[in-house]
Amino acid sequence: MDLVPDLEEAVRGHLADLGFDVRSIGEPGSGFDLVLTHPSTRVALGVAIMAALPSHGQAKLPAGKVVVAAPNVSPQQGARLRAAGAVGFIDAAGNASIEVDGLYVHVEGRPPTRLSRAARLEASRGWSSRPTGLQVLLSLLTHPELLDARLADVAAMADVSVATAHRVLADLTSQGFIEGRGGSRRWLDRAGAVRAWIEGYTRTVAPRAKESAYVTDVPPTEWESRITAAGVPAWVTGGAALAALGSGLRPVSATVYQPGTPRGAPTGARLARPRAGETPTLFIREASWHPDAYPPGLAPELLVYADAMSSGDPRVISCAAEVMRDVPDLRNALAPR
């Protein structure tokens, strides 16, 4: 039985393989996590991701043409989902049955999968503790104006669906981090939210970061200035960022975020894949925010700190604690309680 590290990621991949266009767009309160379209029909389908299906009775589904995504869906559960109003389902293994408005998709026989322990734990937590929720929280912490912005603006900056932004804000409210509604929200415990973000990021996001390793003749300490000069959407983090901040650290490699799946150098520098026994000097990671969210150059200070803490390098960790101790959010969040 295969382990699935992330249900949404697995489902997205299977739906794309089936020819669907998958978008993270929804409306607050709709209950949808994704929206699907298919070249054979203009109908938009909503996807409701469920960490578990009820063993008896019918699942409560959002209104509309909904496809249910779950770790595993048995034939009996599939029948109950259709009885509850779903137009189909898909599971983490890729088994699917979708039938609506002339569109017919059927895949069966793939062996069942199960969520990894991290994914099961993640599903049991509030929305603000999930990877997409942490994206929203980082955007709120690094863009003060977003706290009073429209849900659509929050979602666009964090590169998540409107429905996800709505759920995260509701979860942050229920946990006592913020209060109020659109246009009148305010922080009740910003320091606590910073601590929650750092803990969530270092536990669930950093270990699963998508990155590609390269060797290059560009010194690690030069990436920040090159990216800034080029004005391309890319951001240096970790030890190389600390060096750019004047720490005196001499990193042996640089880590750079850029939008989309990592494919190559953000400034056109020559890169090569490391040969056997060769030490990478550049790691390119996929950025989980809108390309216009931050000026090119350095990643947000909170992210630089969290990546340094996740590096496992005592020099980088010590340097981050020293260099970033005067960042207001970090000073307040990490002060003795």
Q: Cα(246)–Cα(71) distance, rounded to whole angstroms?
A: 47
Question: So what's the pLDDT on residue 3?
Answer: 43
Q: Quick one: average pLDDT of 287-316?
A: 92
Q: Confirm whether pTM is higher than 0.75.
A: no
Q: Is the pLDDT of residue 45 over 50?
A: yes
Q: Are 139 and 155 in contact (CB under 8 A)?
A: no
- Determine which of 21-25, 233-237, 281-285 has the lowest per-residue pLDDT on average: 21-25
Q: Quick one: average pLDDT of 232-249?
A: 92
Q: What angle do CA 43, 261, 31 make, to 5 degrees?
A: 35
What is the token pair recorded at 136? 């929203």
Can you tell me whether residue 105 is helix, strand or coil?
Answer: strand
Q: Is the pLDDT of residue 14 over 70?
A: yes
Q: Is the pLDDT of residue 2 over 60?
A: no
Q: Is the pLDDT of residue 28 over 50?
A: no
172-203 confidence digits (pLDDT tens): 988 889 988 767 899 999 999 999 999 989 98
Q: Cα(50)–Cα(300) distance, rounded to whole angstroms?
A: 32
Question: So what's the pLDDT on residue 37?
Answer: 87
Question: So what's the pLDDT on residue 111?
Answer: 85
Closest Cα partner for 313 from 235, 220, 226? Answer: 220
139-167 confidence digits (pLDDT tens): 999 999 999 898 889 989 998 888 788 88
**213 or 120: which leads in pLDDT:** 213
Task: Write phi, then psi, for 82 (nearest 5 degrees).
Answer: -65, -40
Question: So what's the pLDDT on residue 132?
Answer: 86
Using 50, 70 and 90 to split pLDDT, how confident is the model at 118? low
Q: Quick one: average pLDDT of 255-262?
A: 82
Using 50, 70 and 90 to split pLDDT, how confident is the model at 40? confident
Q: Is the pLDDT of residue 124 over 80?
A: no
Using 50, 70 and 90 to split pLDDT, how confident is the model at 5? very low
Q: Quick one: average pLDDT of 103-112?
A: 88
Question: So what's the pLDDT on residue 239?
Answer: 93
Task: Write phi, then psi, for 41 (nearest 5 degrees).
Answer: -155, 150
- C-beta atoms surrounding 301 within 10 Å: 18
- Determine which of 48-52, 273-277, 314-318 has the lowest per-residue pLDDT on average: 48-52
